[in-house]
Every structure is written in structure tokens, then in C-alpha cells.
Structure 1
Amino acid sequence: MTKHKTLWLSLIGLLLGLAVLMSLSISLGSANISFTTVWQVILSRVPIVNGFINGTWSDATETIVVDLRMPRILLAALVGAALALAGALYQGVLRNPLADPFILGVSSGASFGAAITFVFGLQLMWLGQFTLPVVAFVFGFVTLMIVYMIARIGQKVRMETIILAGVVVQSFLGACLSLVMALANEKLQTIVFWMMGSLTLTDWSYTAVVLPVMAVTVIISLFFTRELNMLGLGEEVAHHSGVSVERTRFILLILASLMTGAAVSVSGAIGFVGLVVPHMIRLIVGSDYRLILPLSLVGGAIFLVGADTLARVVLAPRELPLGVITAFLGAPFFIYLLRQAKREYF
């Protein structure tokens, strides 16, 4: 079977699975709504098709589906897709299967920005409700620039240096975050809950933060599949194949960190998505990034929509932090990867 046929068949299968899972997730909750009713409500909002739908549901049901659950599930899909694609890019650029979107401190930077926003009650007039996601996004991006500047030696950035710089900056920001939390007083619970990851208070407007960044970064990153495949063979091979290694690495790190910053800014710190999903895709389809990037995109959406559904229904009507669910699912997989890596080196 050709690569193109494998890609399209896999994408169609994953997209169908995502559609079913999203519908199921919308139907589940403190107020259960039938699978059929969910689709009727959704189709009633589609022009042309809505003329064939007979509405027999209540206004409360439509409000729950359209205004409460749909924006949350869609945002979960976008955040999961962003984190998984960012993880695939990090693993490709750093040539490290244990790399994930938080390895360069972007998550810590975004969390620090969010904590400052909570504690000092920042509300920029021209941003309004977007103050929190925008501030978190900017702090995450600035963190990446600082890491890259620290790791840069002359005209080159060595991979082991940038990982070490990321660990150091992440540790420093962790200390800064602890200081802010110590000063938080009554805001402490809000900061802690945000850091554990949650989509509880999201609405349609939050999609406007993630979607534009996702659209641009996904389109650009898909043009770099050849370069990622070459980097996987080693920097010398990539260079002799006509790949501008430093330029490609810089662009891909920027793209991955933009995706991570945008995702973290609306959902809080959610770990393991960028580690688990790309690696599972790699185990299934191999190391060709022409397959890994688009399949990680859809796989990440499926992973986080499923995790968010579990977070809502496991202890209903109470809700678990989303980061707790992804940690329970991802930590055993990380241990498995770590043991595999140890076998290769020892």
C-alpha cells in the first residue's frame, strides 16, 4: 500500500472516530442527552439541512449542547491537536522520543504569566476576557526566545545545549511561580486549578485564541515533512541533502512553541499529550513524518476529547482536573518509553 493511500485511509478512520467520540462526549454529562438528539441539534444549525430537521427538544437541551458542551469539546480537540503536533515536531527536531511540548519551558512560562494575571488582577482594556490567554501566550513565547538565546553558541544551537537550557529556565520559572503562589492568598486555589489543566469555563470565544494559531502553524509545519525526515537521519545527512539545519530547526521550534503557548493559554498546563500521541502514531505507521504529523494532529484531538469526557463523567457531578486524567494515562506510557531507552543505551 502506498504512503498516500495509508495516510488517507488512516485519516478518514481517525476523523470518523473523532466525530463519534465528540458526539458521545456532548451527549454525556450531568444531564444525559441522546446521541440522536445531539446530531439533530447540531444539524438544525446548518443552513439548508436545517429545513429537514424537526425540532422536538427543549430550549434547555439546545443551550446545553450548543452553548456549553460543543465549545468545550471543540476546544479540547483543538488543544489536543496542538499539543500532539507540537510534540511530534519537538521529537523530530530534537531527535528524542521523550521530548514533549514542555521540554523547553514554554508551559512554565505560560503558567507564570497566567499566575501573575490571576494574582494582580490584570485586565487589559483592549483585550478584555482575552487578557489571560494572551498574557500566557506571550510569556510562553518569550520563554522560548530566552532558551534559544542561552543555547545559541555563535551561529549554532546544539540539541543537548537547548534541552539543558530549557531545563534550567523551567526550574527558574518554577521557583518564580512558587513565589507568586505564596503571595496569592485567596487566588491560590484558582492558580492551582488552572495549572492542573481545565476546560471548565470555556466558551466559543476561546476558540478564537487557538484556531488562528493552529491554522497557520499546521499549514506551515506540513511543508517541513521532508526536512524532518532528513533530520531523523542525522544533521550531516540533512545538510548534504540540501537542508538548512539551523534555519529549519529554528522555524520548527517556533512553530511548536507557538502551538504549545496557544494551547496552554486557554486550557492550563496539560501534560503527556505531546509525548504519548506522536509516539503511538510512530509505533503504528513508522518514522515517516508525512504520516506522523497529520495523524498526530487528529490523534491528539481524540486523546484529549476522550480524557475530557472521563474528567467530566468519572466522578459526576464533580469534575476532575483534565491534567490529572492525562497524567494517569500518560505516566505509565512515559515509564515504558524510559525503559525502552535504557535498554538501547545499556
Structure 2
Amino acid sequence: MTTTRDRPPAIGEARSGRWARVTSASYPLLVGVLVIGVTVSVLAATGLGPVRVPASEVGRILVHHLSGGGDTAATSDIIIWRLRFPRVLLGLVVGAGLALAGTVVQGVVRNPVADPYLLGLSSGASVGAVLVLTTGTALLGVATLPTAAFAGAAGAMVVVLAMARSRGRLLPIRLVLVGVACGHLFAGITSFLLARTDNSAAQQQIIFWLLGGLSGAQWASLPVPAAVVVTSAALLILRARRLNVLVLGDEASAALGVNASNLRRQLLILATLLTGTVVAVSGGIGFVGLIVPHLARMLVGADHRRMLPVTVLLGGIFMLWSDVAARILISPAELPIGILTAFLGVPFFLFVMHARGLASEGAR
């Protein structure tokens, strides 16, 4: 059994660990509640929007299709099955993927304010996507934009890894510094590409994409990101003990037989895969990878064996309700989700930082 002494300290967690003790004795119950929360959120989010569909009707339509029934001409059937349900499922995938990527990055660089944006991954993906939108390239058809976004994130990680190496090792502080610098460079390139285009329609599409959204969700866009997120989550849970060791530092990792530099590189590649795949289908949605891991640590502590499943569930719930708000706040128009996550994320982040600061002072 893992005790408070055995587990690694949370990133930025107070020594008292008062948040972690809240649910340490009832972890299975917490996971069960979150699973129920995901189920309820899916049903509610599928029914909410400019045209509201009762939960009973939503359930009937979903059961009809999931049991092998075909499409019907009913308006509610078209709205639920063709438009909203794939969007809701994509929201679950995107939220879980961004939260997982944030957890990995925070563990790798041992920095509580780290997320995919900090290492330039999201900015690199934006360069690839905006390059396609401004040039009108369509070599791969509908797959051109997602492929370009993923290639941009992968290219950004190659640059960051190459520049952050010191004597054959990857150092967390160099990763952060290089990532921040490259992120600003990629953001400048994106702004330059946006300023160069004189296509007003493309400009509007780029701005909306940069702020993130799920309005383009369809069944064809689900399989690849879903497979990547599920596989990545499984791999991370299997490597949770090693990630725990990595948080302790390079010397402690070496003492326990873990090559911190190699493990850090592998985890960053996985974070790049997650970020590139998710950003390719949702655009740049910020703060999910920053806030959700903090919330998970507050609930279950810093042990990644317990934290990762909770992070996946919380990320999905957070994204679903952010998307619902984006759909209904200025209906029939739609807000970019990135605006909402910023409004929600900044106050929550400041609250968490303030609470942790007070707890740390009291523990000294």
C-alpha cells in the first residue's frame, strides 16, 4: 500500500498534503463518481444547444443507433447522431488528450505551470495549420490540415529537443527556456503568415482555429485521435511508477536504476504525439493541460498511478461543459472554446497558486 512517505511529492504541493488526504481512502469511489459524471455529461451535452433535445429523446436515439438501427429522417435524429454525438465524443477525446499531455510535460520538466504551450508544441502545430490555411494547399484532401498541424508540433519538438540537450542530457530548465523561446518564435511566424494573407475568409477561419473549437467534428475525425489518446493513456499508466521516479530528480532516478534523460525524451515524444493529434482536430485550446492536472493532484495526490485515470476523466468532463457553454452562450453563434477555457482557467489557476502558497507557508 502506498503511504504518504512512499509517494513522491506533488509538483508544487504543500508538505501537509491536506488535499490528497480528502479522497485517499475512497479512490475507487471517486473514480466511480467521475465515470458517472462523464456518462451524465455526455447525455446532457448531446441534448443541449441552440435546439434542445430532451434527455429521454437523446437516450432513445443513441440506443437506437448503437443497437444497429439505421438513420431516420427525423430532425432530432440528424441533430443528435450526425452533429452533436460525434462532437461530444471528440470533446471527450480532446479534453483527455490535452490533460494527459499537460500531466506528462509537468512531470518531465518538474514545473507546476508547464503545459504543451510552454514547450512550443501547440505553437508549432499552429504554424503548420496556418501555413495550409493561408496557402490553400490541399494535397491530402480533408486530412491536409490535421497532418500539417501534427507535422508542426513534431517539428517544434525536434527543434526543442535538439537545442535543449547539454552534454547528451536533457535538462528540465533548458527544456523550459528553449520551449518558451521557440514558442514565441512560432507565434511570430503564425502572426506573419496571418498578416500576409489578404483572404478575409481564411483570416476568420485561422483566428477561430487558433482559439480552438469542435464545430468541425464528424465521425470521420474521431478514430485517429481516439486511438492515439487511448493508447497513450494506457502506456502512461503502465509507466506511472517511472514517471513518479522522474519527478524526484535525475540523481534519485539514477539511484533507482532509471535513465532520466532517455525516459524524459520518450515521454516528450508521447506528449508531442498527443498534442499534435489533438490540436490537429480542435485547434489551439489552452489551459486544459495546465489546470486539470492540478485539480487531479488536489483530489488524489501526486502518485501518477492514481492521478492519471482521474486526469483523463476530469479532462473529458471539463472539455464537454466548456463546449456546451461555447454553443449556448451567444446562440445561434458560437464562441471559440479557447476564450472560455481562458476565462475559466486563469481565475482557477490563480486560486490554486494562492492556496498552495498559503499552505506552503504554513508548512514551513
What is the TM-score normalised by the length of structure 2? 0.88
Residue deviations 1:30-49 (CA, integer Å, cap 9, x gap): 1111100001000011237x
1:101 to 116, 127, 133: 116
Q: Match of 2:189?
A: 176
* 1:148-227 alignment, distance < 5 Å: 148-186=161-199, 187-227=202-242
SS at match of 2:335: coil
Letter in structure 2 aligned against 1:89: V
How far has the Cα of 1:341 moved from its partner?
7.0
Please identify, of 204-213 and 257-266, the stretch whose mean Cα deviation from structure 2 is larger: 204-213
Contact 1:88 1:292 (8 Å CA) reproduced: no
Q: Match of 1:258?
A: 273
Please identify, of 300-309 and 85-94, the stretch whose mean Cα deviation from structure 2 is larger: 85-94
Tell whether 2:158 aligns with 1:145: yes
Q: Match of 1:74?
A: 89
Q: Match of 1:47?
A: 67
Q: Distance in 2 between matches of 1:7 and 1:249?
A: 28
Tell whether 2:297 aligns with 1:282: yes
Q: Distance in 1 between matches of 2:355 and 2:60?
A: 47
Q: Match of 1:14?
A: 34
How far has the Cα of 1:336 moved from its partner?
3.1
Q: Match of 1:311?
A: 326
Q: Distance in 2 between matches of 1:208 and 1:161?
A: 35
How far has the Cα of 1:202 moved from its partner?
1.7
Q: Distance in 1 between matches of 2:325 and 2:206?
A: 22
Please identify, of 1-10 and 315-324, the stretch whose mean Cα deviation from structure 2 is larger: 1-10
Contact 2:109 2:175 (8 Å CA) reproduced: no
Misfit runs of 4+, over 6 Å: 1-5
Contact 2:45 2:324 (8 Å CA) reproduced: yes
1:37 to 35, 54, 57: 57
Number of equivalent positions: 339
Tell whether 2:340 aligns with 1:320: no
How far has the Cα of 1:11 moved from its partner?
2.2
Contact 2:27 2:300 (8 Å CA) reproduced: no
Letter in structure 2 aligned against 1:19: T
Q: Match of 2:45?
A: 25
SS at match of 2:253: helix
How far has the Cα of 1:237 moved from its partner?
1.4
Q: Match of 1:131?
A: 144
Tell whether 2:264 aligns with 1:244: no
Letter in structure 2 aligned against 1:132: L
Tell whether 2:310 aligns with 1:295: yes
Q: Distance in 2 between matches of 1:64 and 1:5?
A: 43
Letter in structure 1 aligned against 2:53: I
Q: Distance in 2 between matches of 1:168 and 1:2?
A: 39
CA RMSD, Structure 1 to Structure 2 (Å): 2.3
Q: Distance in 2 between matches of 1:229 and 1:2?
A: 12
How far has the Cα of 1:292 moved from its partner?
0.9
What is the TM-score normalised by the length of structure 1? 0.92
Residue deviations 1:193-252 (CA, integer Å, cap 9, x gap): 110111112211111331222132222111211011112222211211111111111111
Q: Distance in 2 between matches of 1:205 and 1:323?
A: 23
Q: Match of 1:87?
A: 102
Contact 1:98 1:337 (8 Å CA) reproduced: no
Residue deviations 1:118-162 (CA, integer Å, cap 9, x gap): 0111111xx321110111011111101110100011211111101
SS at match of 1:44: helix
SS at match of 1:45: helix
SS at match of 1:185: coil
